[in-house]
Structure 1
Amino acid sequence: MQIARIETFLIPPRWLFVRVETDTGVVGWGEPVVEGRTETVRTAVEQLSELLIGQDPLRIQDHWQVMTKGSFYRGGPILSSAVSGLDQALWDIAGKVAGLPVHQLLGGPVRDRIRVYGWVGGDEPNEVADAISERLEQGLTAVKMNASGRMERISNLRELDGVVSRVAAAREVLGDTGDVGVDFHGRIGLADARRLMPALEPLRPMFVEEPVVPENSHLIGRIADMTSIPIATGERLFSRQEFLPVFQSGIAIAQPDLSHAGGISEVHRIASLAEIYDVQLAPHCPLGPIALASCLQIGFAVPNFFIQEHSIGIHYNGDGEVLDYVVDRSDFDFSSGYIERLTKPGLGIEVDETAVRDADARGHAWRGPIWRHTDGSFAEW
């Protein structure tokens, strides 16, 4: 069996899918994407395909080594994301050839279902409350929200109070049985973290995510030491080597992205490394169905798995929904607050290829917004 063809598809609202076909007709799917840089990643996938065409798809670890280390210049989000999607597709093929879901190839399941959470915004307190109520009606018991909009470098009183009031509104709706993760998106820094963490502690968030930008991960240990709130980070870290310092700094939750951090192969290794530091895994996934299925396969196989993000029904999917691209929507049923163990071969889902090709004909050119402070300088989005 050899890899015969590799295709990529630009899928609204902001995704990229890859299809890897063998000469025996077995097809694997992956999701190699950097949001806002899909065309660039598409080119990277095309270049990496030169290393895979004609090769045995089941030599997954060897392919991972060659794709990540076969060039003198390595790493970074573009290359790592291209590798991630191709790695997912190779694992999908391996599972289909074996007639087993990927988590069985990783050693078998350690749990029967995975708790999931959805995103609910983070603007006005009333809007947050309404969005959380909708999610609770869907069956979720946990949500994640933005802590704020644009924040000044040293925030004023109104901005700081706004963060606390939003989280307080969330806690009021969730009561003492639901959980809320609070995502700062790197919009605050160490100084504002010192002021905000004590105010947020009585509201007991499930975690605080990315209080500093990943470039300043050397500071995150100081934040972890100052608060009882679990600190989470990792959606913009791409390897074990990048995760190691934040594990050593004392974070509680690692959030590698299966479409950015080297795919199933590397995230499985990241999870093992995290376990040494008593860090739980909660993969980042505001993406499509293939990325979500890949995350779930990891979740069923690793012991230190905490919770899974999903983007079903997320606000930005106005022209493309996760469930639009799978044949059986019940695979991702979360009405109990959990997704049950996927048992179909490979990634555990069947991709609707007709829907994918139709969506690719429409394509997209999504770009992240550019924010600015009141003085006109660049602000973190």
Structure 2
Amino acid sequence: MKITAIRPIFAQGEHRVFVFVKVETDQPGLIGWGEASLEGKPRAVAGCILDMEPMILGRDPRDVEHCWQILYRSAFWRMGIIGMSAISGIDQALWDIKGKELGRPVYELLGGKVRDKVRMYTHFGGATPDEMAADAASKVAKGWTAVKTVPVPITNIVDGIGVQKQAEAGLRAVREAVGDDIDILLDMHGRVTPQMAIQYARRF
């Protein structure tokens, strides 16, 4: 079996462009799919995927680890986040091909499952505490038991206390709206310094 083509494919999402990887083989109908999305850099990742195609073109896609080593070690310069995103998508597609050929789910090839189900969460937001509470409550009404938000705006190194109070007020409103049985997840997205993170943690 040989790899005959590696193609990046764009898919427009609600807030970002997703990058998928399609690996074709010389076996009719045997195609592997992977995902290599990197927020804000879809064309860069796609270009890297195309640059990597010649490195493993014609090789056996079932030699997943060997292909990974070639992609990672063939270049003089080591990979950054764009290159590793590209490799990740190609790697997933190769495992997909291997699993399909063997007729087994990939998780069995990687050592077997570790759980029977995976808990999911969804996002909520809003510009004011009332909007945040209403949005979170609407998600809970649809059956979600865990919701996540970014409680802070894009911040500077030093924040005023007003921003902290606003974030605290928003989360208090959300907790009151959804009750104590719902998990609220917070993602700061690297927007605060360690010192400011401590201040926020004390308030939350």
| CA–CA distance in structure 1, aligned partners of residues 186 and 105 of structure 2 | 33
| Alignment partners' CA distance in 2, 1:155 and 1:36 | 26
**Pair 1:117 & 2:118 matched:** no
1:172 alignment counterpart? 176
SS in 1 for 2:20: strand
Q: Distance in 1 between matches of 2:158 and 2:102?
A: 55
Report how far residue 194 of structure 1 moved.
2.5
Superposition map of 1:287-306 within 5 A:
none
Secondary structure of 1:29's aligned partner: strand
Asked which structure has the greater RCO (Cα within 8 Å, sep 6+), the reply is 1
Contact 2:133–2:177 (Cα < 8 Å) also in 1 = yes
Aligned to 1:360: none
Any idea what SS the aligned residue of 1:180 has?
A: strand
RMSD: 1.4
Following the alignment from structure 2 to structure 1, what is the Cα–Cα distance between the partners of residues 126 and 69? 40
Q: 1:65 maps to what in 2?
A: 69
Q: Which residue of 1 aligns with 2:21?
A: 18
**More moved, 40-49 vs 63-72:** 63-72
Q: One-letter code of the match for 2:25?
A: T
Name the SS for the 1:113 alignment partner: coil
Which residue is equivalent to 1:144? 148
Q: Matches of 2:126 and 2:71 in 1, distance apart?
A: 39
2:7 equivalent in structure 1 = 7
Q: Which amino acid aligns with 1:128?
A: M
Query: Is there any run of 5+ residues in structure 2 with no aligned partner, and where?
Result: none
* 1:149-164 pair list within 5 angstroms: 149-164=153-168
SS in 2 for 1:161: helix
**Is 1:100 aligned with 2:104?**
yes
1:191 is displaced (CA, Å) by 2.1
1:273-302 per-residue CA deviation (whole Å, 9 max, x = no partner) reads xxxxxxxxxxxxxxxxxxxxxxxxxxxxxx
Residue 174 of structure 1, CA deviation: 2.9
Runs (4 or more) in structure 1 with deviation over 6 Å come to none
Contact preservation (8 Å) 1:120, 1:128: yes
Q: Return the offset for 1:92.
A: 1.0
Cα distance in 1 between the residues matched to 2:33 and 2:178: 37
Compare CA radii of gyration and give the structure with the larger one: 2
Which string of whole-angstrom CA distances, capped at 9 and with x for unpartnered residues, describes residues 329-357 of structure 1?
Answer: xxxxxxxxxxxxxxxxxxxxxxxxxxxxx
Cα distance, 1:84 vs. partner?
0.8
Question: Which residue is 1:54 aligned to?
Answer: 58
Q: Indicate whether 1:29 and 2:33 are aligned.
A: yes
Instruction: Using the TM superposition, give the Cα deviation of residue 5 of structure 1 relative to its aligned residue in structure 2, in angstroms.
Output: 1.5
The CA deviation at 1:178 is 1.1
Unaligned runs of 5+ in 1: 201-381
Instruction: Spell out, residue by residue over 1:64-105, the C-alpha distance to the aligned partner (whole angstroms, 9 max, x if none).
Output: 111112212112111001001101111111111111111111
**Aligned-residue offset at 1:150:** 2.3
Distance of 2:44 and 2:51 partners within structure 1:
11
User: Distance in 1 between the 2:115 and 2:194 partners?
Assistant: 37
Q: Could you tell me whether the CA contact under 8 Å between 2:23 and 2:32 is conserved in 1? A: yes
CA contact (8 A) 1:123 1:149 kept: no
The correspondence of residues 282-361 of structure 1 with structure 2, limited to 5 A, is none
Deviations 1:129-179 (CA, angstroms, capped at 9, x unpaired): 122122212221111101112223211121010111122122223322111
**Aligned residue number for residue 74 of structure 1:** 78
Aligned residue pairs: how many?
200
Residue identity over aligned pairs, in percent, reads 35
Q: CA deviation at 1:122?
A: 5.0
Q: Distance in 1 between matches of 2:31 and 2:189?
A: 36
Equivalent position SS for 1:74: coil
1:220-239 matches, within 5 Å, as none
What's the secondary structure of 2:120's corresponding residue?
A: strand
| Aligned partner letter, 1:24 | Q
Q: TM-score, normalised by structure 2?
A: 0.92
Q: Output the CA distance in 2 between the equivalents of 1:93 and 1:123.
A: 45
